[in-house]
Structure 1
């Protein structure tokens, strides 16, 4: 994957995270504060915990830091998959965000 291809796909991922936060806030009382600075989105939950998603352009990876740990994702041609075989980005973000918010959430 070229750098421009990575940036296009990674930008789409970050925009999807932001749009999911907006939708979740409209549909639930989760009250997720999402802040974007460049290639990084920080989700802040009501209890003060955070999930940080940021781009690692030189590695063509997306990194996620949550209470559950730190995770690296690469695009496999269809989806962003954990580099250690621990699943797909949005499935994991859904699980970790729900744990931190204390309620069911869905990111897509």
Structure 2
């Protein structure tokens, strides 16, 4: 993947996260806040826990830090997949956000 392709796909992922946060706030009482600075989004939950998603341009990866740990994702041509073969980015984000918020939250591309 070229650097331009990576940046296009990574930007689409960040926009999808922002839109999902807006949708979740409209449809639930989750009250999550998302703040984006450049290639990093910080999602803050009502209990003040956070999930941070940031771009790692030199590696063409996306990193996520949650209470459950730190995770690295690389685009495989169809989806952002965990570099250790543990699953897809949005499935993980949904799971960790649900755990941290205490309610079922769904993020998707």
TM-score, normalisation: structure 1: 0.99
Note the alpha carbon deviations across 1:3-56, whole angstroms, 9 max, x for none. Answer: 110000000000000000000000000001000000000000000100000000
Query: Aligned with 1:63: secondary structure?
Result: strand
Q: Which residue of 1 aligns with 2:12?
A: 12
- CA distance in 2: counterparts of 1:86 and 1:37, whole angstroms: 28
- CA distance in 2: counterparts of 1:3 and 1:76, whole angstroms: 14
- CA distance in 1: counterparts of 2:56 and 2:9, whole angstroms: 13
1:69 aligns with 2:69: yes
> Shift of residue 86 of structure 1?
1.0
Query: Aligned with 1:106: secondary structure?
Result: coil
Runs (4 or more) in structure 1 with deviation over 4 Å come to none
- CA distance in 1: counterparts of 2:27 and 2:17, whole angstroms: 15
Q: How many residues align?
A: 108
Q: Which runs of 5+ in 1 are unaligned?
A: none
- CA distance in 1: counterparts of 2:40 and 2:80, whole angstroms: 16
Q: Which residue of 2 aligns with 1:54?
A: 54
For residues 77-92 of structure 1, the aligned pairs below 5 Å read: 77-92=77-92
Provide the alpha-carbon RMSD of the alignment. Answer: 0.3
- CA distance in 2: counterparts of 1:31 and 1:84, whole angstroms: 32
